[in-house]
Chains A and B, each alone.
Chain A
Amino acid sequence: MRGLDDDKPALLGRRVAPGITLVIIIVVSITLMMVDNAHKSLSAVRGSLAVALEPLQVAAEIPGDTIDYLQQYFNRGALISENQQLSQKVLLLQGRLQKLAALQAENERIRALLASASSLDQNVLIARILSVSPDPYRQYVKLNKGSADGVFVGQALIDAHGIMGQVTNVTPLDSRALLISDANNGIPVEINRTGLQTIVQGTGRRDTLQLPFLANNADVKVGDLLVSSGLGGRYPANYPVARVTHVAHNPGEEFLDVQAQPTADLGRGREALLVWNASTQSSGPGAPHAPPLSHSSDADSTPSDPAP
């Protein structure tokens, strides 16, 4: 029979009092966290650990994927009707695209007259959303494209309806994007109706964003569309971000209480687009060797400029 003291945890083969071990662990942990927070020297360690843990991530996706697959397998009627809807939608979008090509050409001519440097050309990479954050206090998604595919920190993530977030971590095989609903994320926007510039902040809840810096006399109404202004250089300009859902003036408060709902389907979609300007890629801190997309033969990546 073993005594209680024989069960003391061992460190490197010697019995050490747990109190001493704990103090060492606390000091090491705090140092690690400060180093990790301050600069990126630990990202290689994190990256290799993440690659080692990749099979777990993939395995955790299997049940959900299987259910999706079985639903599709046994539901032929739904697939057919979805296919019909999609071909109708493609027709509709192609119709609009015809007009867009002319408009884009006109816009570029006018910009050339103004000697404006900004370009409409944007590169696009389709990424699959692997998982929505398992940590309910942080709002991010994991994507199946990593630095090997040309993803770099700072790329914006959009879906069919608007901006979703931006890439914050990249490993060789996958990347992580912070959603605009994360409490730590702010995005510069303008109100589409008036052009008023402001900032939208996340709240930590997926369906609510807030606009904390609108003065009491600001012209903002429920239903106003907020589009990204492109200020700050992180997010591309003129993509829809959110729609105002709530405007209240609290007497005594300096700012209006304004809430908005993201236009993008945060946490529901399975696919998203990574968007970046050709010029920001060279200044991106990540993957300097990322191949330019036009030379990439990746089947599911497409250059975005619509053919006239």
Chain B
Amino acid sequence: MIIHRQVGALMIGFTLIISLLLILLPLPATLGALRPAFYTATVLFWVLMQPQRFGLVAAWCAGVMIDVLYGTPLSEHGLAMAVAAYVVIKLRPLLWTFPVIQQAAVMLPIFAIYEFVLFWIDGVAGADVDLWWRWLPVLSSSLVWPAWAFLLERIAEFEVG
């Protein structure tokens, strides 16, 4: 679905805050490793749906918020978010033609790119975290994508009709 009318900044901010809360909720370590990247999914959803309102710079700023909350080097998540958003913008015509279930298949490599940028920066920075379960959120995020995108679409429709 293409949302033609502009969605309010308040609405975008609200969904971002809710998804930030979802990734900040304390969980046991095993569940935490499986937790889908709700926040990344929300940012990429708005980049996909409203690139004229929520572009690369906004995605970068949204990523920096995670850096502040996680204490990672400033703009590490920002850079990863911007790179993933760029791929989303480039693949927009393709993503728009798919129903949300098939979108999930395209989102899988995009989430993998996001995670790979983080992995790479961690490696360069010397924070050597070569753990296989690092890649679990890629899988869980794309599994959650159809439901999450559907929910966000309904929320956006609630405002623009």
Task: Tell me which residues across on chain B come within 8 A of A26, comparing CB atoms.
Answer: 79, 82-83
Partner of A6, one of B25, B52, B79: B52
Q: A137-B131, A204-B131 are in contact. Are A9 and B79 (CB under 8 A)?
A: no
Q: Which of A46-54, A82-90, A110-118 is the interface stretch?
A: A46-54
Q: Per-position contact with A for B1-23: 1 when CB-CB < 8 Å, else 0?
A: 00010000000000001001101
Could you tell me if B129 and A138 are in contact, using CB atoms closer than 8 angstroms? yes
CB-nearest residue of chain A relative to B32? A136
Residue in A7, A26, A132 whose Cβ sees the most chain B Cβ within 10 Å: A7
Task: Tell me which residues across on chain A come within 8 A of B79, comparing CB atoms.
Answer: 25-26, 29-30, 33
- Residue B160 is within 8 A (CB to CB) of chain A in the complex: no
- Residue A299 is within 8 A (CB to CB) of chain B in the complex: no
- Residue A106 is within 8 A (CB to CB) of chain B in the complex: no
Number of A-B contacts (CB under 8 A): 136
- Residue A80 is within 8 A (CB to CB) of chain B in the complex: no
Q: Per-position contact with A for B71-114: 1 when CB-CB < 8 Å, else 0?
A: 11111101100110010011011000000000000000000000
Could you tell me if B126 and A137 are in contact, using CB atoms closer than 8 angstroms? no
- Inter-chain CA distance A19–B24, complex, in Å, is 32
- Residue A21 is within 8 A (CB to CB) of chain B in the complex: yes
Query: How many residues on B have C-beta within 8 angstroms of the other chain's C-beta atoms?
Result: 49
Task: Tell me which residues across on chain A come within 8 A of B24, comparing CB atoms.
Answer: 56-57, 60, 131, 134
- Inter-chain CA distance A36–B78, complex, in Å, is 14
- Residue A140 is within 8 A (CB to CB) of chain B in the complex: yes
Q: How far is the CB of B155 from chain A (nearest CB, A)?
A: 19
- Residue B138 is within 8 A (CB to CB) of chain A in the complex: no
Q: A53-B68, A183-B128 are in contact. Are A46 and B51 (CB under 8 A)?
A: no
- Residue B158 is within 8 A (CB to CB) of chain A in the complex: no
Q: Which of B112-161 contact A (CB under 8 A)?
A: 121-122, 125-129, 131, 133-134
Partner of B74, one of A19, A33, A137: A33
Could you tell me if B74 and A32 are in contact, using CB atoms closer than 8 angstroms? yes
Task: Tell me which residues across on chain A come within 8 A of B134, comparing CB atoms.
Answer: 137
- Residue A307 is within 8 A (CB to CB) of chain B in the complex: no
Task: Tell me which residues across on chain B come within 8 A of A7, comparing CB atoms.
Answer: 51-52, 92
Could you tell me if B82 and A29 are in contact, using CB atoms closer than 8 angstroms? yes
- Residue A93 is within 8 A (CB to CB) of chain B in the complex: no
Which range contains the number of A residues in contact with the other chain?
Answer: 35 or more
Partner of A56, one of B20, B70, B86, B126: B20
Q: Which of A116-148 contact B (CB under 8 A)?
A: 131-138, 140
Interface of B is mostly: helix
Task: Tell me which residues across on chain B come within 8 A of A134, comparing CB atoms.
Answer: 23-27, 32, 69-70
CB-nearest residue of chain B relative to A55? B17
- Residue B45 is within 8 A (CB to CB) of chain A in the complex: no
Could you tell me if A46 and B68 are in contact, using CB atoms closer than 8 angstroms? yes
Could you tell me if B127 and A138 are in contact, using CB atoms closer than 8 angstroms? yes
Task: Tell me which residues across on chain B come within 8 A of A137, comparing CB atoms.
Answer: 122, 127, 129, 131, 134
Could you tell me if B21 and A59 are in contact, using CB atoms closer than 8 angstroms? yes
Q: How far is the CB of B59 from chain A (nearest CB, A)?
A: 9
Q: Per-position contact with A for B23-47: 1 when CB-CB < 8 Å, else 0?
A: 1111101001101000000000000
Q: How far is the CB of B95 from chain A (nearest CB, A)?
A: 12
- Residue A278 is within 8 A (CB to CB) of chain B in the complex: no
Q: A4-B92, A7-B51, A64-B26 are in contact. Are A33 and B70 (CB under 8 A)?
A: no
Task: Tell me which residues across on chain B come within 8 A of A135, comparing CB atoms.
Answer: 70, 72
Partner of A18, one of B17, B55, B74, B127: B55
- Inter-chain CA distance A3–B119, complex, in Å, is 37
Could you tell me if A61 and B26 are in contact, using CB atoms closer than 8 angstroms? yes
Could you tell me if A22 and B23 are in contact, using CB atoms closer than 8 angstroms? no
- Inter-chain CA distance A30–B124, complex, in Å, is 11
Could you tell me if B86 and A37 are in contact, using CB atoms closer than 8 angstroms? no
Task: Tell me which residues across on chain B come within 8 A of A50, comparing CB atoms.
Answer: 68-69
Beyond the given pairs A2-B4, A138-B70, 7 more chain A to chain B contacts, judged by CB atoms under 8 angstroms and listed by A's residue number, are: A11-B57, A21-B57, A57-B69, A131-B26, A134-B69, A136-B133, A183-B127
Q: Which 8 A-B pairs have the closest CB atoms?
A: A9-B55, A60-B24, A29-B79, A137-B129, A29-B75, A32-B75, A36-B74, A136-B33
